[in-house]
Amino acid sequence: MSRYIGPSCRLCRRELTKLFLKGERCYTEKCAIEKRNSPPGVHADTKGKTLEYGIRLREKQKMRKIYGLGEKQFKRFFTIASRKKGIIGTNLIILLERRLDNMVYRLGFATSRKEARQLVSHKHVLVNGKNVNIPSYLVREGDEISIKEKDLQSVQNALESVVRRGVPSWLEIDKDNVKGLVKLLPTRDDITMPIKEQLVVEYYSR
């Protein structure tokens, strides 16, 4: 599966909003959105008519970039969400939040989802005491997530800065032992990111 390896800040500028892809940098004045809040490219200032399709496409792209997924993988999650009972958009967001790489980021063991994905892929993460190296692994209520090497420098640095963004109420963190507990699965009200999931549903339902 292909993955974007270019500048992360370019993605934020394309969506004209912070996607929090660069960890601590996103909270400082060095953030690209703070310095230059305009789309990238030489024709960025040339505005054309925005069609309904374009609005839905941009919302889908924004959601995909936030969680760092490729198109094929993102669509697979949408298919799973559409087969579940309930509201498709809500199902989709909750599924994405349940990804192991996202949970590692939410617990503060990494400064970004990209860094969290690397921790998981390099076999630094344990789920209920067992090594899991699949970033898309879906955690469940009651699962315990821990880091194998408690003195890993990148993890310690991330834990020091987690105070700025906080840990969600559905998670519980034990910084001393570098582990966290999934107390509950999140609800739509718990997820405060600027995402209009209904537009994503409409995009795939066209």
pLDDT in tens, 96-126: 999 999 999 999 999 888 899 999 999 999 9
Residue range of the domain that includes 160: 103-185
Q: What percent of the chain has pLDDT over 70?
A: 76
Q: Is the pLDDT of residue 16 over 90?
A: no
pTM: 0.81
Residue 201 falls inside a structural domain: yes
Q: Are residues 107 and 81 in the same domain?
A: no
Pair 151, 169 in one domain: yes
Are 86 and 108 within one domain? no
What's 81's domain CATH number?
A: 1.10.1050.10
Q: In total, how many domains does the chain have?
A: 3
Whether residue 48 is contained in a domain is answered as no
Least confident of 5-14, 74-83, 160-169, 177-186: 5-14
Burial 139-153 (b: 16+ CB within 10 A, else e): beeebebbbeeeeee
Query: Confidence band (pLDDT; 50, 70, 90) for 1?
Result: very low
Query: What confidence tens digit (pLDDT) does each residue in 32-62 have?
Result: 555 566 566 555 555 556 688 888 998 898 8
Residue of 196, 202, 192 whose CA lies nearest to 169: 192
- The C-alpha atoms of residue 63 and residue 199 are separated, in whole angstroms, by 10
Average of per-residue pLDDT across 129-137: 95
pLDDT at 23: 59
**143 within a domain of the structure (yes/no):** yes
- Is 85 within the bounds of a domain? yes
Average pLDDT over residues 170-188: 92
Determine which helix (DSSP H) or strand (DSSP E) holds 179, and give its type and residue range.
strand 179-182
Closest by CA position to 144, among listed 188, 178, 96: 178
